[in-house]
């Protein structure tokens, strides 16, 4: 057998092995999913757990169908998705812009560094009542809450990534007369794209947390409102249904970011 044929055969075997591994992982994930809901349903019906508090998948499914049929659920989903997407985009853009400003001005970054550390340590959710008083109870304060939760961590992660770009590469660009703007556009920002994309994954969860907390406090619509309303009327089936919908929507947003990450990596290669 020729060397090229042997290499090709080994490559094909490797690809086949990877495909089998992915298929096995997918099957395991599906089995865990089915086992979880099956055990939950059985435990609820046999009253191994309190069915009033933990409800059951079948009850949640029937409630979901009822809410879909009267179109009320769709409205709440759209409201929360809009608020979360807006908070996610604003928080990410604001954090990236702040990181760029800090990279552009080392003097300013030295001044603000301890404040960023303190702000990152603060429980941003606790700012909810202040934002509501300052901005009023409504759409704006909830979106701001979603943005505030993610903006500081975005700033820190992206700025750290900017600083970790190979300084020797930057010196070469400076030697050839590159301006600070050109260095940022041609070297710093492209090199930091993987870190920015990774930050997007984190921000998906943070934005959902901020928006849901905002809806807890002030909203009369949205999935967060349904959760707090369910607690008030002791309807835990409604609470769990809303939580599961949030989990599904958050997973979809996360997968969208993962697809963006793959496309970015493909273009870079």
From first to last of its 269 residues, the chain has per-residue pLDDT tens of 455 666 677 667 777 888 888 899 999 999 999 999 999 999 999 999 999 899 999 999 999 999 988 888 999 999 999 999 999 999 999 999 999 999 999 899 999 989 988 888 888 878 888 888 888 888 899 999 999 999 989 999 999 999 888 888 888 888 888 788 888 888 888 888 888 888 888 899 999 999 999 998 888 899 999 999 999 999 999 999 999 999 999 999 999 998 888 888 777 66
Both 11 and 65 in one domain: the answer is no
Q: What pTM was computed for the model?
A: 0.86
Both 118 and 213 in one domain: the answer is yes
Total domains, the chain? 2
Both 31 and 103 in one domain: the answer is no
Res 93: pLDDT: 94
Both 63 and 39 in one domain: the answer is no
> Residue 199 half-sphere exposure, CB side, CA atoms within 13 Å?
27
Both 119 and 241 in one domain: the answer is yes
Res 2: pLDDT: 54
Both 15 and 105 in one domain: the answer is no
Both 36 and 150 in one domain: the answer is no
Both 92 and 119 in one domain: the answer is yes
Res 65: pLDDT: 93
Complete DSSP assignment for the chain: --HHHHHHHHHHHHHHHHHHHHHHHHHHHHHHHHHHHHHHHHHHHTTSS-HHHH--HHHHHHHHHHHHHTTHHHHHHHHHHHHHHHHHHHHHHHHHHHHHHHHH-HHHHHHHHHHHHHHHHS-GGGGHHHHHHHH-SSHHHHHHHHHHHHHHHHHHHHHHHHHTS-HHHHHHHHHTT--HHHHIIIIIHHHHHHHHHHHHHHHHHHHHHHHHHHHHHH-SSSHHHHHHHHHHTT-HHHHHHHHHHHHHHHHHHHHHHHHHHHHHHHHH-
Res 4: pLDDT: 61
Both 37 and 61 in one domain: the answer is no
CATH of the domain at 63: 1.10.3720.10
The separation between CA 53 and the C-alpha centre of its own chain, rounded to angstroms, equals 28
Tell me how far apart the alpha carbons of residues 178 and 170 are, in angstroms, rounded to a whole number. Answer: 9
Both 18 and 134 in one domain: the answer is no
- Quickly count: other Cβ atoms within 10 Å of residue 162's Cβ: 22
Both 34 and 141 in one domain: the answer is no
Expressed as residue numbers, the domain containing 26 is: 3-49
Contacts (Cβ under 8 Å, ≥6 apart) of 152: 95, 116, 119, 120, 124
Both 92 and 192 in one domain: the answer is yes
Query: For 168, phi and psi rounded to 5 degrees?
Result: -65, -40
């Amino acid at each position: 057998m020729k060397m090229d044929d042997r290499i090709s055969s080994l490559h094909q075997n490797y690809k086949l092995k990877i495909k089998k591994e992915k298929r096995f992982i997918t099957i395991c994930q599906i089995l865990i999913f089915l086992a979880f809901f099956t055990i939950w349903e059985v435990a609820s019906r046999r009253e191994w757990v309190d069915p009033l508090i933990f409800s059951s998948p079948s009850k949640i499914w029937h409630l979901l169908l009822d809410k879909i049929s009267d179109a009320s659920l769709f409205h709440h989903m759209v409201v929360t998705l809009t608020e979360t997407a807006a908070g996610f985009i604003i928080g990410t853009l604001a954090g990236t812009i702040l990181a760029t400003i800090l990279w552009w001005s080392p003097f300013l970054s030295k001044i603000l560094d301890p404040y960023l550390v303190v702000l990152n340590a603060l429980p941003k959710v606790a700012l909810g009542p202040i934002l509501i008083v300052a901005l009023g109870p409504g759409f704006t304060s909830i979106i701001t809450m979603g943005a505030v939760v993610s903006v500081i961590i975005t700033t820190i992660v992206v700025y750290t990534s900017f600083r970790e770009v190979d300084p020797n590469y930057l010196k070469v660009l400076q030697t050839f007369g590159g301006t600070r703007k050109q260095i940022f556009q041609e070297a710093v920002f492209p090199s930091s794209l993987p870190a920015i994309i990774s930050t997007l994954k984190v921000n998906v969860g943070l934005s959902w947390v901020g928006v849901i907390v905002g809806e807890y406090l002030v909203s009369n619509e949205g999935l967060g409102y349904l959760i707090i309303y369910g607690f008030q009327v002791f309807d835990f089936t409604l609470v769990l249904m809303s939580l599961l919908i949030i989990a599904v929507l958050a997973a979809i947003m996360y997968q969208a970011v993962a697809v963006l990450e793959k496309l970015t990596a493909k273009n870079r290669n």
